[in-house]
Amino acid sequence: RNLWRYRELLPILEESFIVDIGTGFSTLHKSGNLADSLGLKNLYVKDDTVNPTNSFKDRPSSVAISKAREFGAEAVGCPSTGNLAAAVAAHAAKAGLPCYVFVPANTESNKVLQASTYGANIVAVDGTYDEANRLAAQVAEDNGWAFANINLRPYYVEGSKTLAFEVCEQLGWKAPDSIIVPLGSGALMLAIKRGFEQFMSLGLIEEKRVRLIGAQGEGCAPIVDAFKAGDEDITPIEHPDTVAKSLAIGDPGDGYYVLRAIRESGGFAESASDKEILDAIDLLASSEGVFSEPAGGVTIAVLRKLVASGVISEDETVVCCVTGNGFKAADTLQSRLASPSVIPPSLAAFQEAHGRDDQ
Ligand SMILES: *Cc1c(COP(=O)(O)O)cnc(C)c1O
């Protein structure tokens, strides 16, 4: 059970090209504890932290690197805010292809550690994601290499629609009323929309309008800002500054189309501050046992705000996408934790520190 169960709907011509490391068919948690604490009845968390490299980016990478093999590419790569680097590197390793990943120099160290352990060449760029992206595009063009989210992009984006397929299947072959999606470039949300539409046009689920709700971190929320201002175009953010580094794309490639898709769906877009994001990570972990990186905290924080403001009502079936694992951002999360107090290995010491006072 993984995303290749939907291979008839994915753009790979022959099964022999498929690069399969077990991506997809992640758990859809019925999140009763979190729902109770927020006042909802039908809340689900789609837990893409459990993919092979611990983020949803394994979905688009699986399809892109399979396509690179089909095209006979000599080398693969990508620009990345971190998670894509690890995902492309892992799939490239399985495919036996050299891999070049371009990341901003301030990328979380665990994400870089992961990509480099899979054997990728790490190109740390002294600049923003948008600058790393531009350089990567030049390198791909100059060397004739296949880069997942650049010249393989039409195939890359197809991989993520499997998230929507799975949600429908896991809900008993129906679509949810609303889905909350973190927005970086916006590709994931558009893929999810296409996934629902494809299942509807194939008659696998009933026709319905799924409300698309976009979530970004306050320090880099160009799509949310445009949504709230009623604008049709995106004004790029030059210096993104959010704890949700996976979403720190100041000039989102699909922003224009995402805005239209959100509006057409009757959806909404909302941002969350660093504190709201970190609090939401704690809330999700302590209520549902799911450990998320800040990008997933963003969707939970936005869920919380939209329930409070009445945009999301208690009866709707809501799916919240949690797209990356907490270990990805260990540096960020660690910095707010107090070290545990150390006790001698004696019962008396335990009782003094934690025990019930039952004298
Ligand atoms: C890349 C990423 C996103 C955003 O995806 P886009 O397709 O760029 O919008 C969301 N969450 C995580 C964890 C990511 O790595």
Cα–Cα separations (whole angstroms), residue 118 to 60, 85, 97: 17, 10, 11
* Protein residue whose Cα sits closest to atom 10 of ligand 1: 182
pLDDT of residue 3: 97
Instruction: Report which secondary-structure segment, H or E, holds 123.
Output: strand 121-125
Give bridge partners of residue 45 from the DSSP assignment: 29, 320
Q: What atom of ligand 1 comes closest to residue 182's alpha carbon?
A: 10
Short-list 128, 247, 265, CA closest to 186 = 247
CA–centroid distance, 305 to ligand 1, in Å, is: 21
Pocket test for ligand 1, best of 323, 327, 332 (most atoms within 8 A of CB): 323
Task: Convert the pLDDT of each residue in 245-299 to its tens digit.
Answer: 999 999 999 999 999 999 999 999 999 999 999 999 999 999 999 999 999 999 9
The Å distance, Cα 324 to ligand 1 centre, comes to: 8
- Indicate whether residue 324 lines ligand 1 (CB < 6 A): yes
Question: Using one digit for the tens of pLDDT, what is the confidence trace for 47-57?
Answer: 999 999 999 99
Closest CA relative to residue 318, chosen from 24, 33, 35: 35
User: Is the CB of residue 55 below 6 angstroms from any atom belonging to ligand 1?
Assistant: yes
Entry pTM: 0.95
Atom of ligand 1 nearest to the CA of 183: 9
